[in-house]
Structure 1
Amino acid sequence: MNLPTEQQARLQHLAQAVLSTSAHLQVTDRGVFAQPFTAERAAGLDGDAALAERVDAFVARFSRLQDLLGDKLLPELLAALGEPPRAIIDNLDHAERLHWIAAADDWMRMRRLRNQMVH
């Protein structure tokens, strides 16, 4: 596949951003989930500023990674394959058919959970 230089550069930039964000998320994940994240730990966030900070960082990095993948990289990859622009759920369904993701419904559930955690 012979892509225009700008599209190649955009894909490379997005791929690097995904790798970087993923690495940061993994570090945060180890800090938050080194112990099981129980209802008791969640209820105690107001009294544990350090844990609350790590949870906030996890939510922010997870959100950033999901946005990078679903809202930026996936549409760009599909465009490189000649696919027309579509709504995110349609892109996710297409990615599922291509076996790039396991389940579009799971992606959307994680997105809703993420939005609940932010608010």
Structure 2
Amino acid sequence: MTTLSDEQLRLAFLIRVIDKERKQLAVTLQRLFNAPLTPERLQQLDTDPSFSEQLDAFASRFARLQDNLGDKLLPATLAALGEHKGPVLDNLNKAERFGWLESAENWLLARQLRNKMVHEYIEDLQLLADALNSAANFTPLLENFAMQLISALEQRNLLPSNSF
């Protein structure tokens, strides 16, 4: 019987969490964007608690997935591969060079959207609509990044066989 290292256990845990987050984000994305998100539709936030909860779920899931990928799985992946971990921007640039991340610049743009969705939507529905629609367009970036990191770990046999 093979004993798993703490590093392998941590990676397996992160991947299970991220896999659940990806799936939950996809469901929320499908439900929330079943019709175009416009300032007019967003006026329903005050009168439609279900719609408001969907919006909050999307913003929260988007932010949580991005946080777990960029702040947890990426540094853990770099460490598992024997790469130097640095500040977030350095790690993102390294991920882009390795081909795991389409664009570090787009990652940072998605991060700014996260902040707009969370902090600025109360006053400006156009800003909220723009941020939400842009975030929806960035969800494939998150999805692809997750799959690339997992693939990099699997290719080097750094994950237990039953990680998912």
TM over 0.5: yes
| CA offsets 1:23-63 (integer angstroms, 9 cap, x no match) | 11111111101111122222332232211110000111111
Return the letter of the residue paired with 1:106: N
Which region of structure 1 is more displaced relative to structure 2, 6-15 or 39-48?
Answer: 39-48
Counterpart residue number, 1:108 = 108
Higher RCO (CA-CA < 8 Å; seq separation 6+): 2
Count of aligned residue pairs for this structure pair = 116
Question: 1:61-106 CA deviation, whole Å, 9 max, x = no partner?
Answer: 1111001100000000011111222111111111111111110010
Partner of 1:13: 13
What is the DSSP-based 3-state SS (H/G/I as helix, E as strand, rest coil) of the residue aligned with 1:22? helix
2:16 maps to a residue whose letter is Q
Cα shift at 1:109: 0.5
Moved over 3 A (4+): none
Structure 2 counterpart of 1:24, one-letter code: Q
RMSD of aligned alpha carbons? 1.2
Paired residues for 1:41-80 under 5 Å: 41-80=41-80
Q: What is the one-letter code of the residue matched to 1:30? A: Q
Aligned-partner SS, 2:36: coil
Normalised to the residue count of structure 1, the TM-score between the two structures is 0.91
Q: Which moves more between the two structures, 42-51 or 11-20?
A: 42-51
SS at match of 1:43: helix
SS in 2 for 1:54: helix
